[in-house]
Structure formats: C-alpha cells, structure tokens
Chains A and B, each alone.
Chain A
Amino acid sequence: MTVLFGVFLLTLLVITALAVVQTRNLVVAVMLLGIFSLLLAINFFLLDAADVALTEAAVGAGISTVLFLGALALTSEHERKRPGRRWLSLLVVASAGLVVVYATFDKPRFGDPDAPVQRHIGPWYLEETAQDVDIPNVVTAVLGSFRAYDTLGEVFVVFTAGIGVLFMFSAPRPRSGNGSLSGSTSEQSGLQDELLLGVVGRLLVPFILLFGLYVQFHGEYGPGGGFQAGALIAAAFILYALVEGQQRALEALPRQALNALMIGGALLYGGVGIAGMLMGSNFLDYSVLSEDPIAGQKLGIILIEAGVGMTVSGVLLSVFHAFGARDRIR
C-alpha cells in the first residue's frame, strides 16, 4: 500500500517537473515548484524521514517560493525564448538520466533488511544514541553529535550563501539618511489596504513563531531542529513583512540584528566545538562540556541546534530583505 502510494506520488512528481519545464510563465513555474516540494515532502514522510519532510515543506514550498516571487518581481514574469541547439541539451539530459536509472539497478530493494544502510553503520547509531546521547530522536543525535562536522559544514554553506547574496545585492544604490532603507519605495509595500489579509497575517505571526521555537527546542524528542526552526521563524517574519511592509519588519528586526544572528549562529556552533577542545577533548566532542557525559552531549546538541537555527533564520531573512530592497531592474 505504501509502495503504491509512493509510486503514485513519484508519478505526480514527474508530471509536475515536466509542467515546470513546459510552462513559459515563470509565476506558474514557481507555483508548480511549490507543489513539487510538497509532493516531495509527502514522499519523504512516507519513507519515515519526518525531519527531512519538515525541512522540504518549510524551505521548498514556503520560503523559496517567496524568494522566487521576490526575484520575479525584480525581473520579468515570462521566460524569454532562447534560440539554440535544444536537441543537444535534450540528448545530454536524457543520457544522464539513463545513467542514473541504470545505477538504480544496483540499489537494494526498498526496505531490504540486508541493505548496506541497515547493516553497516545504521544499527551502530541506534545503539550508541541510547547509550551516549540518550535522546529519542536518533536523527538529531546523528546530525548534531555523531556527524557534527557535516552539520557544521552545512551551516557554513548556508552562511556563505547568505554572505554571497548580500554582496551581490549591496551594490551601490542611492542612500538616504543613515543607511537605513530609503522610505520612498518601501512605504507602499505591504498590504495596508487589504484589511482581511492584514488581520489574518498578524493573527498567524505569533503562532508561527511559537511553532518555530517548539520545533527548535523539541528537536531532540520529535522531528525538527535548527534548520526547520530557522526556516519557520524566518517565515513568520517574512509574513510580517508581507503584511506590514518591509519598513516595519526591519524596525522589528533590523539588519544589524540579522547580521548578528547569521554570524552569531555560526560562531556559536564553532565555539561549542572549540570549547570541547579547550576542555580536553576533540573538536565538537560534547561529552566534556558537563560533568556527566550524557548531560554534556545534550547541552552541546541544544547549543549547536540554536546556532543552526540562528544562522538559517538570519540568512533567509537577510536574503528576503535584500530582494525586497532592490528596485525593479527593467
């Protein structure tokens, strides 16, 4: 039954992807990409990957849709026709796809107990989490403790991406006053005229923030963690910015605070690692952070997850504001 449903969802996924390629209207493409992400999230959930599903739904269907629309607002809604050798690209894509399909023949059957995943390191994680970290959500233990180097890398990738976008968008533009957002364009932004949208938006913002904090701090016990929480908290502030206008959102959470979140999160993560070194163990070994190794592990995971959440929300909001602050190019 699950397999059947999975096949159905994957078929829909392929259809949506083809529709994205087909359409010339970029707004339609963005909406279809949102549907694509939601379908993918359901697929992840079917495969019992609730953490990944949450991330995909929050980032893929939520925030990246807003960012795409922000980018489209700066350029054009219609894809330009490009002359060129489309057959050549089709050939490349088709052969690459066939290679990938060929590679899947070597993969173990879905749910095969003899698959390398189930025999190699998976059982070790399951055993060690109960002993060393003692938290119910093994995914968080793997992400935050056993493979903390990978997660550190991911946080720095997000951080670097954010810095890159900020550099790209901070090209000189006419400034008014002390470097704050120039008032002329931003005063018309927001939905002040739309009473209903404003009321509902304002009503939802605190609940989204609350849910974001829940996902952040409940990540050791249920699906969630810093990445998902960062995206949700950023979504709350983006909703606030859409309803109240960018100016008000920047008053609530100014650019300096966003920069501090971005940098502070990455520094917190690295700092926890170095604290472990200073206290006489390896980089990112949390066991020494407290008298009790298990308590140390828990403390370390909470701290680095907080760092992840700070960086992710800071970067997403900075990128959103960077798009919003630009004038239309055409």
Chain B
Amino acid sequence: MELLQDALSWVLLTAGGLFVLIGGIGALRMPNLYTRMHAASVTDTMGAMLVLAGIMLQAGLSLATIKLVAILLFLLITSPTSSYALASAALLAGIRPDAGQAADHPADATAADGARE
C-alpha cells in the first residue's frame, strides 16, 4: 500500500514536471504573446495540479494536505485571473491577436513574459 502510494505520487510528480517543461518550451518557442500565454498556461493548470497532487500523496492524510488543497484552490482562482489580466493589458497596449502575426514588438513581449512568471 505504502509502495503503491509512493509510486503513484512519483508518477504524478514526474507528469507534472513534464507539463511544466512543455509549458516552458512553448513559452519560448511560440510566435507571439497570446500563443505564448496559451502554452505557458499548461504550467499553472496541469503542471501545478499534478505536482500538488503528487505532494499530497507524499504527505498522506495530514494538516499538510489541507494546506496543499488550499494552495491548489488559490492557484486555480488566481492563475486564470492573472492570465486574463495579462491578456487584457496586452490588448489594451495594442498587441493584436492576429493569426498570421509572426512576432509582436520585442520590448512588449519581454515585458509581458516577465509579468507572466
């Protein structure tokens, strides 16, 4: 039972790590701000959820698990909100989400990326 829990926990943690990695690669490789945001959002949805679930299995039924659930809820509320705020600010700053657009203004893009982290 213990072994099963540990193994499942590590599977979740590794999968979460993979999603974070994919998000990171996407944030680097995607052509413009909105697609980059889309790629990076994998990090704080699937990545964070899987990693937190893995840690919860490590912690077992304890106070730490309740705190982890609170962190998860907090992340699930705040990260879409910050994505929304970022996209809305980018739109306000005049970056158009055009499909054919290769790259947006480099200065704006780095600014937005900084805010994203």
Contacts and interface: CB of A to CB of B under 8 A. Distances in A.
Interface string B77-99: 11001001100100000000000
Given A196-B84, A197-B84, A28 B78 contact: no
Given A200-B77, A200-B78, A31 B84 contact: no
A34 to B, nearest CB: 8
B81 A200 contact: yes
| 10 closest cross-chain pairs (CB), A and B | A31-B114, A200-B81, A28-B114, A28-B111, A27-B111, A31-B115, A35-B117, A196-B84, A28-B110, A197-B85
A25, A31, A34, A194 — which one has the most chain B CB atoms within 10 A of its CB? A31
A196 B77 CA distance: 11
What is the interface residue range for chain A against chain B?
Answer: 10 to 19
Contacts of B114: 27-28, 31-32, 35
Given A28-B111, A204-B78, 20 more contacts: A23-B110, A25-B107, A25-B110, A25-B111, A27-B111, A27-B114, A28-B110, A31-B111, A31-B115, A32-B114, A35-B117, A194-B85, A196-B81, A196-B84, A197-B84, A197-B85, A200-B77, A200-B81, A204-B77, A207-B74
* Interface of chain B: mostly helix, strand, loop or mixed: helix
Contacts of B111: 25, 27-28, 31
Contacts of B115: 31
B117 A31 contact: yes
Say whether chain A's binding surface is mostly helix, strand, loop, or mixed.
helix
A4 to B, nearest CB: 16
A34 B117 CA distance: 9
B110 A197 contact: no
14 contacts: A23-B110, A27-B111, A27-B114, A28-B110, A31-B114, A32-B114, A34-B117, A35-B117, A194-B85, A196-B84, A200-B77, A200-B78, A203-B77, A204-B78
Nearest to A32: B114
Contacts of A35: 114, 117
Q: Most chain-A Cβ atoms within 10 A of its Cβ — which of B84, B107, B114, B115?
A: B114
A28 B116 CA distance: 11
Contact of B88 (A31, A34, A194, A203): A194
Interface string B103-116: 00001001100110
Nearest to B84: A196
Interface string A197-215: 1001001100100000000
Interface in A10-59: 23, 25, 27-28, 31-32, 34-35
